[in-house]
Chains A and B, each alone.
Chain A
Amino acid sequence: GAGVSQSPRYKVAKRGQDVALRCDPISGHVSLFWYQQALGQGPEFLTYFQNEAQLDKSGLPSDRFFAERPEGSVSTLKIQRTQQEDSAVYLCASSLGAGALGNQPQHFGDGTRLSIL
């Protein structure tokens, strides 16, 4: 596709439910990032994939958060036993990659707005 696509755009869940958020990166982008953006704040890093390998998950707030990218393209962020403090916009970004190319710009999706009741 032309850009990073995320679904659903909005998700409402009851506390304790599990949710799954999907990200379709730009075709050919090696790197994929997940960020969490609270209202009125900047995005905060959650985790990073290079192809199918999860190279950094230091930003995941608890073991209730899990991300995967099994085939090196689409990624899913799963939150188990959701809590009210999980309410935020979850942004996905992708980039061409790193290495000899240096830092490549990260392009963001529109995000999933998650509300936990």
Chain B
Amino acid sequence: DQQVKQNSPSLSVQEGRISILNCDYTNSMFDYFLWYKKYPAEGPTFLISISSIKDKNEDGRFTVFLNKSAKHLSLHIVPSQPGDSAVYFCAASFSSGSARQLTFGSGTQLTVLP
């Protein structure tokens, strides 16, 4: 039973347009969410996070939105660039300082077309 789901395995977007990656979770106890980006032959790298006390967090071109009632989060990339082409994983955890486990979604391959 996957507690964190990314239902779109792939997404293609034109350069300069907005990319929207979606993620759903089932465990209402999760209260901290993260996005990681992964290039081929490299480990994932942290992109952005959000706590459940917020509904939006921005960092440059990247914005994460959290809808707690729908148990849904999304990552917006504006404008999209070819270098953004990668696999994006959303992950859920607990905000406690002793949080020990991270649950990942299955990932979405984003391709930004020049």
Partners in one complex: no
Chain A residues with CB under 8 Å of chain B are: none
Q: B residues near A, CB below 8 A? A: none
